[in-house]
């Protein structure tokens, strides 16, 4: 009897912790899309090809920052769609940056070549993701406006029709 009560209490405690974490993560996502927009971090990094990448040089551009991994199936499925968006809107000021999280360097290079990725990919870790406010899982995509502020965050597999509407709206915003 006593062990049943202890098990019931532990189950209730675990469920309470789950609800608290789930609620906190939902609140975090809501903050990222609220009118009080966070400034995107300014970072100086090196991409997969050894080129310097300075996020400050993307001023007056609309930027999609995608945290992903080559070993992550939903992430890999999104890459061709990011390639298509980059190609379609680059002349209007769209830039895509991929932050590959904890990929094996050789596998990442093979993936990059196989898909003919047309945007910079930066080998990274979760410390870089923390600079953007953190990610709860992969893939996660941040939408940054010409004003250098984070206008949206997509956790998990992205709805590209919705993302494209966001991009087009931000591209129509005048440059500062």
- pLDDT per position as a tens digit, 24-50: 333 333 334 444 589 999 999 999 999
| DSSP at 148 | S
Which of 14-23, 103-112, 117-126 is predicted least confidently?
A: 14-23
Q: Mean pLDDT over residues 64-93, rounded? A: 97
Specify the pLDDT at position 174. Answer: 83
Stretch 108-135: mean pLDDT: 95
The C-alpha torsion from 35 through 146 and 97 to 82, rounded to 10°, is 80
Please report, to the nearest 10 degrees, the dihedral formed by the alpha carbons of residues 31, 166, 69, 47 taken in order: -100
Reduce the DSSP state of residue 86 to 3 states and report it.
helix
Average pLDDT over residues 101-108: 94
Q: How confident is the model at residue 7 (pLDDT cuts 50, 70, 90)?
A: very low
Distance between CA atoms of residues 47 and 100, nearest Å: 10
User: Average pLDDT in the 106-135 region?
Assistant: 95
According to CATH, the topology of domain 33-171 is Glutaredoxin (3.40.30)
More confident: 3 or 45: 45
102 touches 125 (CB < 8 A) = yes
Over range 106-110, report the average pLDDT: 96
The domain spans of the chain are 1-31, 33-171
Looking at every residue in the chain, the average pLDDT score rounds to 85
Q: pTM value?
A: 0.80
């Amino acid at each position: 009897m006593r062990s049943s009560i202890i098990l019931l209490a532990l189950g209730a405690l675990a469920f309470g912790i789950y609800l608290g974490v789930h609620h906190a993560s939902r609140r975090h996502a809501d903050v990222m899309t609220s009118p009080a927009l966070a400034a995107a971090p300014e970072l100086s990094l090196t991409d997969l090809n050894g080129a310097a990448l300075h996020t400050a040089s993307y001023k007056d551009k609309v930027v999609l920052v995608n945290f992903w991994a080559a070993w992550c199936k939903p992430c890999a499925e999104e890459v061709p769609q990011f390639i298509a968006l980059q190609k379609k809107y680059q002349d209007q000021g769209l830039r895509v940056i991929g932050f590959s999280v904890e990929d094996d360097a050789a596998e990442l290079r093979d993936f990059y070549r196989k898909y003919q990725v047309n945007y910079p990919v930066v080998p990274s870790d979760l410390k870089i993701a923390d600079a953007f406010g953190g990610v709860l899982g992969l893939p996660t995509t941040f939408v940054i406006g010409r004003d250098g502020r984070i206008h949206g965050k997509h956790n998990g597999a992205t709805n590209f029709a919705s993302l494209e509407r966001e991009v087009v709206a931000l591209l129509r915003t005048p440059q500062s």
